[in-house]
Amino acid sequence: MPDTSRAHALELDARDPLAGLRKRFRLPAGVIYLDGNSLGALPDDVPGALDDVVRQQWGVGLIRSWNDADWWNAPTRVGAAIAPVIGAAPDQVVCGDSTSVQLFNTMIAALRMRPGRNVILTDPATFPTDAYLADSVARLCNAEVRRVPAAEAAAVLAADGADIALAAYNHVDYRTGELRDLAGITAAAHAAGALVLWDVCHTAGAVPIDADAHDLDFVVGCSYKYLSGGPGAPAFLYVARRLQQDFDPALTGWHGHAEPFAMESGYRPADGISRGRIGSPPLLNMLALEAALGVFAETDMAAVRAKSLALTDLFIACADELGLEVATPREHALRGSQVAVRHDAAHPIMAALIDRGVIGDVRPPDILRFGFNALYVSYADVVDAAAVLGDIVATGAHLDPKYAVRSTVT
């Protein structure tokens, strides 16, 4: 029987090797923040860094900052800072644009790298934008989207993989928090002659991805969740070095040109990961992200993962005690960094939680999501949040009509 007492949680906090990192984030008073899987908390380094970017680099440096502040290389420089977080050696990650744009661009490039194959394999429960863009790419490229659950993907690749150009999966199910078999699907895809594209939006910064070790081909992720880059922080793209010279994307923007300032009339892609650049990057967002990434140099993903699993173990134990239905797998190997609780009253319960300072979110039809960023969530947060949740469910506080209105986003 796990110890879910507050005293035990405080003990765990006292010996938590990552506890010192919490002060690197500005957490508002009176809030337990369990929605860092949707928008990470504000890193303490960001406001000052952004002040400098705005007032000095933009305000005083003006156009000169493209050189003097090295704005030009921000997409590859920030990409290089993301690389160790996803287990990538240098020169394989570029930062920019949105996840949607990166997925689209990369799926087209992947189809072009597998001529004679025309199937994109993806999960019927993939994140919506991944599904929409796979369909759009298929329409543009005369390809076909075959929807196979992640659990069956390796078998389908082995049995019927000859037409499959690309297996495009999420590292984690955004609703249940179930972690997919990244290594197994990748190996099966490669055995079938296909490429893989992993969407790691819900794991980058929380779960080791080991892109190089697993021989991944393409990885796309966002940076505003566990990387805490801020609202609308740009996405990133990993292209394995061995594939870069054949990477032939659709979005041939001038920043990806071999000599952008030669202003040539025809496109010649840059060597290496720079050809993943498209147009002018959103520098305020990108440089805020750069500041946010500093904290990752002070820890490693194994430590982050260990604490994340301990936090989610504890929350699952609390939910069990409350008699709630946990939709997230209990096996560590199948768990991301969130816990999903299934409840018919998910929306009003979350509204009541937020009203009491415990912030998570909901996903249709009946999932309460609680995300645990090990860099700033404490064990005490876990038991305190569970206590509030338990009180709401026990007292029926969520039945108050004021919680019946659904918000747009959370």
Q: Measured from the CB atom, is 44 or 181 closer to its own copies?
A: 44
- Asked if residue 127 belongs to a known ligand binding site, the reply is yes
Rg for the chain, CA atoms, rounded: 22
* Residue 318 identity: C
Q: Measured from the CB atom, is 35 or 178 closer to its own copies?
A: 35
- Asked if residue 130 belongs to a known ligand binding site, the reply is yes
Q: Measured from the CB atom, is 208 or 260 closer to its own copies?
A: 260
Regarding beta strands 93-95 and 236-239, do their DSSP bridges make them parallel or antiparallel, or are they unpaired?
Answer: antiparallel
Q: Which of 117, 180, 225, 335 is catalytic?
A: 225
Q: Could you give the count of Cα atoms lying within 13 Å of 197 in the half-sphere of its Cβ?
A: 31
Compute the least distance from the CB of residue 72 to its own copies, in Å: 5
The residues, ordered by sequence, that sit 6+ positions from 84 with a Cβ below 8 Å of its Cβ are: 296
Structure tokens at 210: 């080991």
- Asked if residue 100 belongs to a known ligand binding site, the reply is yes
Compute the least distance from the CB of residue 142 to its own copies, in Å: 10
Give 402's DSSP letter: G
List the one residue out of 293, 330, 294, 291 whose CA is nearest residue 312: 330
296 noted as active-site residue: no
Compute the least distance from the CB of residue 405 to its own copies, in Å: 11
Q: Which of 33, 127, 174, 372 is catalytic?
A: 127
Give 269's DSSP letter: B
376 noted as active-site residue: no
Q: Measured from the CB atom, is 295 or 317 closer to its own copies?
A: 295
List the one residue out of 196, 182, 169 whose CA is nearest residue 110: 196
Omega into 115 within 30° of 0, i.e. cis? no
- Asked if residue 128 belongs to a known ligand binding site, the reply is yes
127 noted as active-site residue: yes
Q: Measured from the CB atom, is 127 or 247 closer to its own copies?
A: 127
DSSP codes joined into one string, 172-224: B-TTT-BBP-HHHHHHHHHHTT-EEEEE-TTTTTTS---TTTTT-SEEEE-SS
225 noted as active-site residue: yes
Compute the least distance from the CB of residue 233 to its own copies, in Å: 7
Contact 187, 141 (CB under 8 A): no
Alpha-carbon distance of 383 to 6, in angstroms, equals: 6
Q: Which of 224, 226, 315, 370 is catalytic?
A: 224
Q: Measured from the CB atom, is 118 or 252 closer to its own copies?
A: 252
- Asked if residue 186 belongs to a known ligand binding site, the reply is no
Compute the least distance from the CB of residue 389 to its own copies, in Å: 17
Give 246's DSSP letter: T
Q: Which of 35, 45, 199, 217 is catalytic?
A: 199
Regarding beta strands 358-359 and 32-33, do their DSSP bridges make them parallel or antiparallel, or are they unpaired?
Answer: parallel
What is the crossing angle of helices 74-82 and 283-292, to 10°?
30
Compute the least distance from the CB of residue 263 to its own copies, in Å: 5
Q: Measured from the CB atom, is 224 or 296 closer to its own copies?
A: 224
Q: How many CB atoms lie within 10 A of CB 8?
A: 15
Q: How many CB atoms lie within 10 A of CB 278?
A: 22
199 noted as active-site residue: yes
List the one residue out of 134, 185, 181 whose CA is nearest residue 158: 185
67 three-state secondary structure: helix
- Asked if residue 99 belongs to a known ligand binding site, the reply is yes
- Asked if residue 202 belongs to a known ligand binding site, the reply is yes
- Asked if residue 28 belongs to a known ligand binding site, the reply is no
> What are 5's strand-pairing partners?
none
- Asked if residue 190 belongs to a known ligand binding site, the reply is no
Q: Which of 146, 180, 277, 369 is catalytic?
A: 369
Contact 93, 238 (CB under 8 A): yes
Alpha-carbon distance of 269 to 279, in angstroms, equals: 13
Compute the least distance from the CB of residue 163 to its own copies, in Å: 21
| Residues marked as catalytic | 127, 199, 224-225, 369
Residue numbers in the known binding site are 99-100, 127-130, 199, 202, 224, 254
Residue numbers in the known binding site for pyridoxal 5'-phosphate are 99-100, 127-130, 199, 202, 224, 254
